[in-house]
Amino acid sequence: MLRRLRRGAALGAALLAGLAGLAALALLLTRPERAPADAMAGIEGDARRGARIFDAAGCAGCHMAPDAPDGDPEARLRLSGGQAFPSPFGTFRAPNISPDPEAGIGRWSALDLYNALHFGTSPEGRHYYPAFPYTSYVNASRQDVADLYAYLMTLPRDATPSQKHEVAFPFNIRAGLGLWKALFLRPGWVVKGPLSAEQARGRYLAEALGHCGECHTPRNALGGLRRNAWLAGAPIPGGRGRFPNITPARLDWSQADLIEYFTSGFTPEYDSAGGHMAVVVQNLALLPREDRAALAAYLQAVAPVPEAPS
């Protein structure tokens, strides 16, 4: 009897140890990833070029203050954070990414920014939530990250502390994000096949920097993008209405129509952009016209998807 009990306890302990080992292995395999220490060595950042990356990547759209006045060119450069982004997993708050050394990213290196954008890993080695669209930024070039870094460091400092995300169990366990990343974070293009130079530039702007798919592509139950329904539209989290389907199946605008929309926000019917898209247009309008033309050319090359899967 005693022996049997002992054997049972030993078996249980072995099983527990095995499970713990598996969990440890899983954590080890999905721990926050980082680039080698010399990944950004020798890449000189150009702040002037970085301004264009900043506008194309739409950093201000999420990181400017919630009460920043519309179209105020100075307010959009004060990256105090604080805007709320509701999701099925909780409400995320954009952090302060001004160059303030305490409240913002003033102590970051270019490598820190690269690790954040490419791996969703903080300088302290924690996982970021994918509300920060590193699943798109993973495709950004190192040169563009270096330029963006140089530009960000020229912006005004803001001492507003970052606010906590409002995320409930189990999504508040950041270690779990490693598994999410293993499933859904990978570099590479969605739109493949032969593209013109203009379309390829548009793809880089849309898929890497502009992160169009983060809103316009439907997500699965775990919050991963359904790449086979790329840009086919999705419900607006925490709101009514939908992010529209912008594949050629539903959006039949000409290239000139699209360029006008990206410049002034006017649709072919001369309605105007609303919701968060109004902010996106403000960013796109600052890009050189050829970039807006490239985005338009890319959108026309996307696979038509008549209906987003529910």
Partner 1 sequence: MRSRPTIRPTIGAAILAAATATLALPLSAQEPDFKPQITARKALMQLYAFNIGQLGAMAKGSAPYDAAAAATAANNLATLARLDDSAMWPAGSDNFSTEGTRAMPELWDDMADVQQKGAALAEAADAMAAAAGNGLDALRAAMGPLGGACSACHKAYREPR
Residues that bind partner 1 (CB under 8 A): 70-71, 236, 239-244, 256-257, 259-260, 263-266, 269-276, 278-279, 281-282, 285
Q: In this complex, which beta carbon is closest to partner 1, that of residue 189 or of residue 266?
A: 266
Minimum distance from residue 268 beta carbon to partner 1 (Å): 8
Minimum distance from residue 236 beta carbon to partner 1 (Å): 6
Q: In this complex, which beta carbon is closest to partner 1, that of residue 153 or of residue 232?
A: 232
> Which residues make beta-bridge pairs with 90?
87, 167
Minimum distance from residue 89 beta carbon to partner 1 (Å): 21
Q: In this complex, which beta carbon is closest to partner 1, that of residue 152 or of residue 296?
A: 296
3-state secondary structure the chain: CHHHHHHHHHHHHHHHHHHHHHHHHHHHHCCCCCCCCCCCCCCCCCHHHHHHHHHHHCHHHHHCCCCCCCCCCCHHHCCCCCCEEEECCEEEECCCCCCCCCCCCCCCCHHHHHHHHHHCECCCCCECCCCCCHHHHCCCCHHHHHHHHHHHCCCCCCCCCCCCCEECCCCCCHHHHHHHHHHHCCCCCCCCCCCCHHHHHHHHHHHHHCCCHHHHCCECCCCCECHHHCCCCEECCCCCCEECCCCCCCCCCCHHHHHHHHHHCECCCCCECCCCHHHHHHHHCCCCHHHHHHHHHHHHHCCCCCCCCC
Q: In this complex, which beta carbon is closest to partner 1, that of residue 59 or of residue 281?
A: 281
Q: In this complex, which beta carbon is closest to partner 1, that of residue 79 or of residue 281?
A: 281
Minimum distance from residue 130 beta carbon to partner 1 (Å): 22
Q: In this complex, which beta carbon is closest to partner 1, that of residue 42 or of residue 274?
A: 274
Q: In this complex, which beta carbon is closest to partner 1, that of residue 85 or of residue 266?
A: 266
Minimum distance from residue 74 beta carbon to partner 1 (Å): 15
Minimum distance from residue 65 beta carbon to partner 1 (Å): 15
Determine if residue 200 is left, alpha or beta; phi over 0 gives left, psi from -120 to 50 gives alpha, anything else beta.
alpha
| C-alpha to C-alpha distance for 95 and 64, rounded to whole angstroms | 9
Q: In this complex, which beta carbon is closest to partner 1, that of residue 63 or of residue 118?
A: 63
Minimum distance from residue 289 beta carbon to partner 1 (Å): 10
Nearest to 286 by CA among 263, 267, 258: 263
Minimum distance from residue 86 beta carbon to partner 1 (Å): 14
Question: What's the first-to-final CA gap in the chain, in angstroms?
Answer: 57
